[in-house]
Amino acid sequence: MEHYDVCVIGAGYGGATVAALLAKSGRRVALIDKTPVAGGKVQTVDRKGYRFEMFGAVGIPAHDSRFHELVEELDIGDQVEFLIPEGDAASVRYKTPAGEWRVMYSPLRQTGAPKEMEDLRRVFDATDEDLDAMAKLYATALSLTDDEIAALDDVGMLEWMKPFGLPSGLESQICMNLNTLFVVAVDRLAASEAILAMRQQVLGGAGRYSVGGYARLAEACANYVVKQGGVFLSRQRVKRIVVDGGRVVGVETDRGELRADAIVSNAGIQPTVLALAGAEHFPSDYVDRVTALEPSWAIAGYRYVLDERIFDAALIPIFSDQSWLDEARYQDMARGVWPDVPLIAVDVPSEFDPSLSPVPGHQIANCQVFCSPDPRSTQWKEAIERADEILNELWPDLEDHIIRKEPYGPRAISSLSRDSVLPGCGGEAVGLAQVVGQVGSMKPDPRTPLPGLYLVGCDAGGRGAGTHQAVDSGFNVAAMVDADLG
């Protein structure tokens, strides 16, 4: 039976990062994924010559990110080229309380330039006083020390924002952005996580993509593992983590068994503990805690190929004052009471990298809207139908230019990431919800109570938004495993 130093289950951004970094430090690594390619939830696939994001993906921060550090650390700059658009790459569509649609084109790194301030006045009817309040909010967020931020682990973001007294339009803009970054209710989102991401966004900008697709760096990490003498076993599902003598010793896949000194799982904390290893190998209070963990929401939407440039920017958020979601509004949606505009984010990868389309001028886009993470729920269908109505209102000729339109929901997310092992879980867009009670010291430790078993990705070990959190976790967990292996 083949023996490795480390076996990594899952080649999402967390798994791919930890595998590559451990391979770099001389460990013999087996990286295993149930799907054909690396990237997990943000994998890029080929469809009839088009490079396609399975789910929309852009990185935050754009500059000076953990992605940049990883490329440098592995010295793979020749394989991964980041694309960060200059100029007005975002176009905001805001529906006023009076029902008028307003448009705002803006750069992905806001600078507070006079034109940006003028746009905020025009689109959100913001007064000088309102803009001062917003400036104070950002200045406070930027001036907090690390300890002051950590002290906000137990404070909800909406509560932290309230004293600044933002008017509803500017509040909506910030809250919809936070919903989009974390895919959880803004009132329950931990202020510590939110402020960190806002700072990264202000200092490093909002849109990072890479030539050839968002998953390029994850693919390069998998190749790196192989180059260093390890293996990338794609299309192999890990069925069981093998435990012997009170510690993990290997994994059983649908093609056989392999042995390793350490197992790092990117398959999600609940599937790893409750299904792959088995609850019987953990203390009962740990199992109870893992069972009670709450996932982020899911994102449903459509993948499009269009026969001409219909969407006029790389990133298009669409919202009204009713669109951003706190817990009460999310529960309303679950009961069938929808806002006038469901919060929609349109990502247009071909605006970042036109070479994704084999036909010049064709557009590849992804429309996204929030829904329940339960793979069995049908709420996502209503969410995308409602999003469709809004898109057709804003771009009346959209339907005439569709070459391909693929709907997706939480079941599709689960199939490319974690299995559903508990009711209501599996289709989450991010991973563990970054809400009060689940971040900072309350976040699960990557080192599980079962010796030799570690967690990586958006459930443990990292901070930040989406894939940036997964890569951050990959760095931290690689250092931990390396130290433990000695």
In whole angstroms, what is the distance from residue 222 CA to residue 15 CA? Answer: 9
Asked if residue 9 binds ligand FAD (CB under 6 A), the reply is yes
Task: Quote the least distance from Cβ 439 to ligand FAD, whole Å.
Answer: 15
* DSSP SS3 for 255: coil
Asked if residue 342 binds ligand FAD (CB under 6 A), the reply is no
- When binding is defined by CB under 6 A, the residue of 35, 201, 377, 476 that contacts ligand FAD is 35
329, two tokens: 């509004």
- When binding is defined by CB under 6 A, the residue of 5, 12, 107, 372 that contacts ligand FAD is 12
Residue list 299-328, contact with ligand FAD (CB under 6 A) = 299
Asked if residue 11 binds ligand FAD (CB under 6 A), the reply is yes
Residue type, 480: M
Residue corresponding to tokens 């292996």? 485
Its sign, for the CA torsion 248, 17, 12, 326, is: positive
Asked if residue 417 binds ligand FAD (CB under 6 A), the reply is yes
In whole angstroms, what is the distance from residue 54 CA to residue 327 CA? Answer: 28
Asked if residue 243 binds ligand FAD (CB under 6 A), the reply is no
Asked if residue 21 binds ligand FAD (CB under 6 A), the reply is no
Stretch that binds ligand FAD, among 52-60, 149-157, 286-294, 387-395 (CB under 6 A): 52-60
Taking CB atoms, the residue at the shortest distance from ligand FAD is 12
Asked if residue 89 binds ligand FAD (CB under 6 A), the reply is no
Stretch that binds ligand FAD, among 81-89, 120-128, 141-149, 414-422 (CB under 6 A): 414-422
255, two tokens: 């093609």
Its sign, for the CA torsion 144, 208, 399, 106, is: positive
**Which residues have C-beta within 8 Å of that of residue 215, sequence separation ≥ 6?**
37, 38, 39, 42, 43, 44
Closest to ligand FAD by CB, 276 vs 310, is: 276
Residue corresponding to tokens 């440039």? 309
In whole angstroms, what is the distance from residue 133 CA to residue 139 CA? Answer: 10
Stretch that binds ligand FAD, among 8-16, 18-26, 75-83, 328-336 (CB under 6 A): 8-16
Asked if residue 470 binds ligand FAD (CB under 6 A), the reply is yes
**Residue among 295, 340, 327 nearest 159 (CA):** 327
Asked if residue 237 binds ligand FAD (CB under 6 A), the reply is yes
**Residue among 444, 467, 450 nearest 213 (CA):** 467
Asked if residue 458 binds ligand FAD (CB under 6 A), the reply is yes
CA atoms lying within 13 Å on the CB side of residue 321:
14
In whole angstroms, what is the distance from residue 88 CA to residue 225 CA? Answer: 38
In whole angstroms, what is the distance from residue 384 CA to residue 346 CA? Answer: 12
- When binding is defined by CB under 6 A, the residue of 429, 432, 436, 450 that contacts ligand FAD is 429
Task: Quote the least distance from Cβ 4 to ligand FAD, whole Å.
Answer: 15
Asked if residue 250 binds ligand FAD (CB under 6 A), the reply is no
Its sign, for the CA torsion 111, 97, 389, 433, is: positive
Asked if residue 230 binds ligand FAD (CB under 6 A), the reply is no
Site for ligand FAD, rule CB under 6 A: 9-15, 32-35, 40-42, 55-59, 237-238, 266-267, 299, 368, 413, 416-419, 429-431, 457-458, 465-468, 470
